[in-house]
Structure 1
Amino acid sequence: MSRSTIHLPRSARRLLSTAGALALAGVLVVGCTSNEPDEEDNEGDGEAAPASDENSGGSSNDETGETVTIGFSGPEADHGWLAAINSSALEEAEKYDDIDLRATEGTNDPGLQIQQVETFINEGVDAIVLLPTDGASLTDVAQRAMDAGIPVVNVDREFSSPFAARTTILGDNYGMGVSAGTYACQLIEENNISDPVIAEIAGIDSLPLTQDRSEGFAEALSNCGQEVDNRVAAEFTVESGEAEASNLLQAAPEIDIIWNHDDDQGVGVKAAFENAGRDEFFFIGGAGSCNAMDWIENGEMEATVLYPPTQAADGIRLARLIAQGKGMSDLVQVAVPRRIVLDAPVVTADNVDEHREGCFDS
């Protein structure tokens, strides 16, 4: 088994990155186990001291605590979004000098990933953050970790059993579709498009995430009396995106709105548009790549719907809290929730600057 161990100290700066800022649906900020200020903080003028360092944007839970060992196993970085998942986890761990991160080599082999988790169990790590190659295949080994008293944070691809993870953090695939469909309805109304032709370029149709995105899109469109007229499914790759977009354009001589599920395959989709000389439609993307941000700024794309690549970074922060017995002060029940679903906002020319720092390279 190929494996590397990384010991990552916190950097001198405590300014949270955009990855941290997007964490927990942009709502839940990591906080103290108690909502009450410490007595020593109230000495002096009688006013409570702020919970964080100046300009840190965090809370006293970011202060150094007991060192915890966190095992991280993520995917092979063969896709821009997946590469960003891995890098965001490593970068987040660097912010804390009380995290001893054991990061394995990314893999798409469930068997190898099972071995990686087994090694974490044998080493007796304090917590495991796992984005499984396949949720069902990794369920049993994650359950073994939990049975051994090691909390598991499940990222993005869910296990088959709720008992296999202490906490699950997910992007909102159904919400992506809803956001894209709702924005398409807005475009139809604002531009007075009568009898619009709406197209969809999905990802791998056999995957539940693709099915959820398509279902959300269709249901949002139905709210404004519309439906998908032309649909193709690609494979989340540049090559498949170009091939399937070309097929779509040949089948539909006129299109008003196109939603492409994935900005990585969108590189090929965009190439197909250019090769066909077609630009009569509003083009909506998905995930939030830097390419998409560029296209939006240049007027070559109407919008993209975020699927945050910060989920593993959020997982690292949550694993640290759980292993240290801490919670989240913005909740009345401060214990870390068992399930967190991140937001899927629409990025347009009006707010692209707000999301630019969180984009990923395709």
Structure 2
Amino acid sequence: MPELTSRRGMLFGTAAVGAGVLLSGCTSNESDDEPASNDQPAADDKSGKPVTIGFAGPQADHGWLNAINDNAKSRAKKYKDVTLEITEGSNDTAQQIGQIETLINKKVDVLVVLPADGKALTQVGLQAMRAGIPVVNLDRIFNSPQAYRCWIGGDNYGMGLNAGHYIGEKLKNKKNARVIELAGLDNLELTKQRTQGFDAALKNYPNIKKVARQAAEFTVESGQAKMSQLLQAQSKFDALWNHDDDQGVGALRAIDQAGRDDFLMVGGAGALSAFQAIKQDDGVLKATVLYPPTMAASAIDLARALGQGKGVGGLAEFEIPSSLTLYSAVVDKDNVDQYMSTGFK
């Protein structure tokens, strides 16, 4: 998963689904009973002021990033009054800056930007804002609040915190419980935040000790390799938290190859494969903590609202908030059916 933000502003909604439902009321011509699934219409047949939204994101070289693009495209298609100008995703900072400058020159009404590098793209965000084009900064945050009108993204610290509490509650009555952690890229701030949240939660359970931590690279291959190392080094443990469901596919392969089933596993992000395994409930994976890619659909809702001069349905303010932090819900066998439609491949 890509580098995300440390900013946690307003808690908005109770889960990935909740974000889509609440933000769908951004304009006054919305239906009041929008279904939770992003596959369903986001609005009724009534249209407002036409809005052209420019969307620029990084290269979709990860399941979560691909889901970000899909959510943005499908949401925009559901609005008759929205035209989406989408760039070809790039992880090259200079190339993405050029793509955004092209959108600025086209005079789009609103920009939605998930920057490859928030710090490096701050100036182009400022450029857009100075040109009178409001920016919805998606997930990876710009260095200056002047570079965006609204930020929306996930909560990495909260993701670790909720994973830790879930594991803690499962093991609270077990004496000398041992847990391990399969993290993501250690040079990313998001990885540090997830670990910090996880460690903070475990402090509430004095019977639990984290005995090992290994950093992977958010890929299937790295997940398998690093999990194999953990399994060889740790002959006995009670729970595993894996930061990312994509690398979790590899981790589960390593676990199967080792013939291990003596612990519970919690994943992260919300991949469809994880939801399916949780529902099947015949392996070690018992839950995953969401980092919902539906935030991209909500970013389109926010951009449309900005373009039409509307606020958010359900809130008293005339303007949309400046910051929206999505909740990292825990999905297990008890609620997995609710989230199945949001799972990414």
Runs (4 or more) in structure 1 with deviation over 4 Å come to 25-29, 51-55, 57-62
Residue 72, structure 1, aligned to residue 55, structure 2? yes
| Kept in 2: contact 1:241–1:266 (CA 8 A) | yes
The DSSP-based 3-state class of the residue aligned with 1:229 is: strand
Instruction: Show CA shifts across 1:254-278 (max 9, x none).
Output: 0100000000000110011011111
How much has 1:219 moved relative to structure 2? 0.1
Gapped runs of 5+ residues in structure 1? Answer: 1-19, 34-50
How much has 1:21 moved relative to structure 2? 7.1
How much has 1:332 moved relative to structure 2? 2.0
The residue number in structure 1 matching 2:154 is 171
The residue number in structure 2 matching 1:263 is 245
How much has 1:335 moved relative to structure 2? 1.2
Amino acid at match of 2:231: L
The residue number in structure 1 matching 2:100 is 117
| Kept in 2: contact 1:32–1:59 (CA 8 A) | no
**Residue 154 (structure 1) aligned to one of 114, 123, 137:** 137
**Residue 278 (structure 2) aligned to one of 292, 296, 304:** 296
The residue number in structure 1 matching 2:175 is 194
**Residue 24 (structure 1) aligned to one of 13, 16, 19:** 19
Question: Percent of aligned positions with the same letter in both sequences?
Answer: 48
The residue number in structure 2 matching 1:217 is 198
Amino acid at match of 1:195: N
| Kept in 1: contact 2:287–2:330 (CA 8 A) | yes
TM-score (norm 2): 0.89
Residue 135, structure 1, aligned to residue 130, structure 2? no
The DSSP-based 3-state class of the residue aligned with 1:186 is: helix
- Go from structure 1 to structure 2 and tell me whether the alpha carbon gap of 1:288 and 1:237 turns closer, same or farther (over 3 Å shift): same
The DSSP-based 3-state class of the residue aligned with 1:328 is: coil
Distance 2:108 2:27 in 1: 23
Gapped runs of 5+ residues in structure 2? Answer: 1-14, 36-40
Distance 1:53 1:115 in 2: 37
- Go from structure 1 to structure 2 and tell me whether the alpha carbon gap of 1:78 and 1:21 turns closer, same or farther (over 3 Å shift): closer
How much has 1:55 moved relative to structure 2? 4.9
Residue 275, structure 1, aligned to residue 257, structure 2? yes
**After the TM superposition, which residues 179-258 of structure 1 pair with which residues of structure 2 at under 5 Å, given as runs?**
179-189=162-172, 192-225=173-206, 226-258=208-240
| Kept in 2: contact 1:25–1:343 (CA 8 A) | no
The residue number in structure 2 matching 1:94 is 77
Residue 336, structure 1, aligned to residue 317, structure 2? no
Higher relative contact order (CA 8 A, sep 6+): 2
TM-score (norm 1): 0.85
| Kept in 1: contact 2:238–2:262 (CA 8 A) | yes
